[in-house]
Chain A
Amino acid sequence: EPEVTQTPSHQVTQMGQEVILRCVPISNHLYFYWYRQILGQKVEFLVSFYNNEISEKSEIFDDQFSVERPDGSNFTLKIRSTKLEDSAMYFCASSPPGRTNEKLFFGSGTQLSVL
């Protein structure tokens, strides 16, 4: 069964450093997303991406965050200068075209720890 893959599974970084989280969405999907989940909290929407541009972003997705689809397969989330409060599990997701486009398929996540 096709799946969304994310790398790395764990990322430890120092406060103020830049991190790039990588995702390979399911190949025929057209919509891509990043969500995050702070330990013990809700899953929160960060950003949606379609047709090579951001469709919507949440208040969390400030100027420190950016997304990119550098080639036909990868979808990345960059945090420019990490803060302690950025520590969370970051989930990439994708959804297919057509009537099922609201059904999201999540990757297994990258656990980001900012020290």
Chain B
Amino acid sequence: RKEVEQDPGPFNVPEGATVAFNCTYSNSASQSFFWYRQDCRKEPKLLMSVYSSGNEDGRFTAQLNRASQYISLLIRDSKLSDSATYLCVVNYGGSQGNLIFGKGTKLSVKP
């Protein structure tokens, strides 16, 4: 069974805080990994891809540990606008675009 598991949260943090989200996936044959962001009742939007070497985009850092089948997202200096649900997403190597989504971790950044 192909599963992506996330802590549902919510994570309630003050502005400026650093927050980390974790995700595990069940199938070791997984090939591609992503973090998407979803605002309430909106479409998912790609935040960043996740590479084995780790990658950073401004305040966001993503890490992949293939041995542990574990993905993380770190957000530094949280902004109010970061409030959203963060979706861990995996492509198990099926057809193009057959993505498996986690249920998401809700983040609420407070002033």
Complex contacts, A91 vs chain B, CB 8 Å: 43-44
In the complex, A43 has a CB within 8 A of chain B? yes
Q: How many contacting A-B pairs (Cβ < 8 A)?
A: 60
Inter-subunit contact A31/B101 (CB<8 Å): no
Inter-subunit contact B96/A45 (CB<8 Å): no
The contact string, 1 if C-beta is below 8 Å from chain A, for chain B 1-39, is 000000000000000000000000000000010100010
Inter-subunit contact B97/A33 (CB<8 Å): yes
Complex contacts, B96 vs chain A, CB 8 Å: 31, 48, 50, 55-56, 95, 101-102
Residues of chain B in range 49-65 having any CB-CB distance to chain A below 8 Å: 49
Number of A residues near B (Cβ < 8 Å) is 25
* Band of interface residues on B: 20 to 34
Nearest 6 CB-CB pairings of A with B: A56-B95, A106-B43, A43-B101, A55-B95, A48-B97, A33-B97
Residues of A near any B CB (own CB < 8 A): 31, 33, 41-45, 48, 50, 55-56, 58, 89, 91, 93, 95, 101-109
